[in-house]
Amino acid sequence: MRDTTTQMPNGVADLSLRDFVVPLFRRKRLLIVTFVAVLAAVILFGLLGGASYSSSMEILVNRERVDPMVSTEATTQLMSTDNPVTPEEINSEVELLSSRDVLEQVVLANALEKPAAGFSLIDLLRPGQTREDRIARAVKTLAKQLKIENIKNSNLIEITYKSPDPQRSYGVLKSLGDLYVAKHVAVHRPAGSFEFFAGQTQKYHDELQDAEGKLRNFDQKNAIAAPDEQRTDLASQVAESVGLSHAAEQSAAADEARIADDRRQMKGMPQRLTTLEASAINDKVIGDLNAALIEAQTKRAQLAMKYAPSYPLVQEADREIAQEKTAIAQAEAKKYVTQTTDRDPAYELLREDVAKSQADLSAQRATLAATSHSIRSIQAEMVKLDQLSLTQQDLKREVKADESNYLLYQAKREQERTSNALDVTRIANVAIAVPPAIPVLPVYSFPMIVFIGLCLATVLAVGAAYAVDYLDSSFHTPAQVIDILGIPVVVTVSKKSA
């Protein structure tokens, strides 16, 4: 065999194209057999394995929807949407997509756990497996078949799934997307928030009804609607009554002083005043005495004609005449005075003023007593109204507090209802940007299978030829003999010619 290797300066060998091709020719049988076997195996595997259909979808992770913080505050507190989505958040969503519970629901939704119809080697090797075992294996297989990756420099997550059935490929991704969004919503939102706010709303609604009933019964029981206003009116009445009481006290004091002054003046003046005085003798008495005197003188004269002056009857007649004359003389000496009197006007005026002042004083004292009693009654009523007002204010505050809580939790309940409605329509921080579609064409067509088989067969055949030639310990060129053994080669004889 002739040496075709040329020596380069500095002892570096210059390999030509022939040096690369020669091993292939030396191992051409292995090359052909490997090429044909690999090509046949790829084509056979592609034909026996059937067509494979791939479906894909893309999920966008964004911050378009920001759920408010769940709290009892009336003002909704929104989170800032300026922060971009971090790689950690995208990786979390990737892990959420491949979580066991989501994949298990996908398996159950698409009946991937059911054994294939016909003969199954797996069922033969595992005769006693249960439904739970099949589900677990199906979940494990699905996790391996799903290709989930984040598209570089984007917020998109691409999911790809291949299966022999195009409907299955589409169904698996469709159910995976729906279940993933539901899982995302359940994870990122507090569980049971709507039920909590609904329960609190009903609780405070009942408490509000009870507080309003207590306030209504309180007003009906006490027959009062506005104790504060009535207490204000009573306070004005008390002020007026106090003024009347002071006025009555002043009037009573004035009446007492006036009565005392009138009585002091009455003591210094007579009650009656003489208006006419006339004096005269008693003519009738004197006339009767003169007639009696004449009768006594006549009687003595008659007796003197018959008897002597010493006779007792004559002496008695003399004594009688003397008495009559004495009586006449006394009657003439005594005069009768006739006086006409009338009441003193000043005294009567003072007396009437005293009577009037006493009547006014009694009236003022009665007014003072009645006013004092009225003031005490009104003050007692004001104290009662004050207590009722405090009770009513407590009830009103309770009603107002229950109403505020009821309106607050009702607003939070409606807010959570809206959030739940948005969750139902899958409006969340993730969205199915590219939904899956039913694949029409298989992943690998027959010409593509043949092309892949040719490429794979060529690579494996060439690689096998080079590997076997490299592992062969025999010398193939004179240069190898010179380099390895250090023996000069004079003549080379090819194996074929030999």
pLDDT in tens, 251-266: 888 888 888 888 888 7
The pLDDT score that the predictor gives to residue 423 is: 58
- The dihedrals phi and psi of 128, each to the nearest 5 degrees, come to -105, 20
| pLDDT reported for residue 11 | 43
Helix (H, G, I), strand (E, B) or coil at 3: coil
Coil, helix or strand at residue 4? coil
Taking residues 318-329, report their average pLDDT. 83
Percent above pLDDT 70 for the chain: 74
Q: How confident is the model at residue 280 (pLDDT cuts 50, 70, 90)?
A: low
Q: Average pLDDT of the chain? A: 77
Residues 411 and 197: their CA atoms lie apart, in Å, by 9
For residue 444, the model assigns a pLDDT of 62
| 322 band by pLDDT with thresholds 50, 70 and 90 | confident
- Cα 196 to chain centroid distance, Å, stands at 13
Q: Quick one: what percent of the chain has pLDDT higher than 90?
A: 0
SS3 state at 287: helix
Q: Report residue 386's pLDDT band, with 50, 70 and 90 as the boundaries.
A: confident
Instruction: Give the range among 4-13, 165-174, 352-361, 449-458 with minimum mean pLDDT.
Output: 4-13
Query: What is the C-alpha to C-alpha distance for residues 156 and 153, in angstroms, rounded to an integer?
Result: 9
Q: How far apart are CA 391 and CA 395, in angstroms?
A: 6
pLDDT at 5 over 50: no
pLDDT digits 0-9 by tens, 94-148: 888 888 888 888 888 888 877 665 445 555 556 667 888 888 888 888 888 888 8
Question: Do the beta carbons of residue 238 and residue 371 sit within 8 Å?
Answer: no
Helix (H) or strand (E) segment spanning residue 173: helix 166-188
Write the burial class of residue 462 (CB in 10 Å: 0-12 exposed, 13-18 middle, 19+ buried). Answer: middle
Residue 87's pLDDT band, with cuts at 50, 70 and 90, is confident
* Integer Cα distance of 174 and 55 in angstroms: 10
The C-alpha atoms of residue 214 and residue 395 are separated, in whole angstroms, by: 7
pLDDT greater than 50 at residue 158? yes
Helices (H), 307-434: 312-333, 345-424
CA 32 – CA 24 distance, rounded (Å): 10
Note the pTM of the prediction, 2 decimals: 0.44
Q: What is d(CA 85, CA 228) in angstroms, rounded to the nearest whole number?
A: 60
Question: Residues with Cβ < 8 Å from 277, sequence gap 6 or more?
Answer: 337, 338, 339, 340
Distance between CA atoms of residues 248 and 429, nearest Å: 85
pLDDT at 199: 84
Any idea what the Cα angle at residue 473 is, between residues 468 and 476, rounded to 5°?
85
